[in-house]
Amino acid sequence: MNFARVAAAAVAAWVVSLGVGYLVNEILLKEVYTANAAALRPDAAIMANLPLGFAFMLVGFFAFAYAYAKGYEGTSGVMEGIRYGVLVAVMINCFSTIWSYITVPINGTMVMAMMIDYIVEFALYGAIVGAIYKPVPKRAHNAVPA
């Protein structure tokens, strides 16, 4: 495994996620969040907690990139990354997002928007990781020692 490339892929996906997160949450889904404001923390509390969220996202991207590298099959990195990202998003949606709907008073529009967003975002993050990660080249085993 190429740990330097895992780290580079994790950091690159994390940096992209910061911009994508702003675009999705503050622009594209702003009305959805406004409609569910009673179920969410006030903006000031969210802003105060952002550093903690960003730190855990970085740790999560390291786990994401590491798991990708462990399962790397050697095909097209970008396509393999997209498939991997969609699979991770489906797991997140089934294990977590739907439970937010069940336990937090958010409407169906918000949960559907979140589920679709995760699939699109994690396909993108998988593509980034797949484009950056490259395994360590194998040494030639048939080389004759001098």
The model's pLDDT over 69-94, given as tens digits with 9 standing for 90+, comes to 999 988 889 999 999 999 999 999 99
pTM for this entry: 0.88
pLDDT at 143 over 60: no
b/e sequence 12-28, b meaning 16+ C-beta within 10 Å: bbbebbeebbeebeeee
Distance CA(43)–CA(64), nearest Å, equals 28
d(CA 36, CA 100): 12
Q: Which of 130, 126, 1, 139 is nearest to 70 (CA)?
A: 1
Residues 131/81, Cβ–Cβ less than 8 Å: yes
Q: What is the distance between the alpha carbons of residues 68 and 77, in angstroms, rounded to a whole number?
A: 10
134's CB contacts (< 8 A; 6+ apart) are 2, 5, 77
CB atoms closer than 10 angstroms to residue 63:
11
- Whether residue 141 is predicted with pLDDT greater than 60 in this model: the reply is no
Rounded CA separation 60/85 (Å): 13
Q: Where are the domains of the chain?
A: 3-132
Q: Quick one: pLDDT at residue 136?
A: 75
* Confidence at 26, pLDDT banded by 50, 70, 90: very high
Mean pLDDT (the chain, rounded) = 93
Q: Where are the alpha helices (DSSP H) in 23-145?
A: 30-35, 43-71, 77-92, 98-103, 108-132
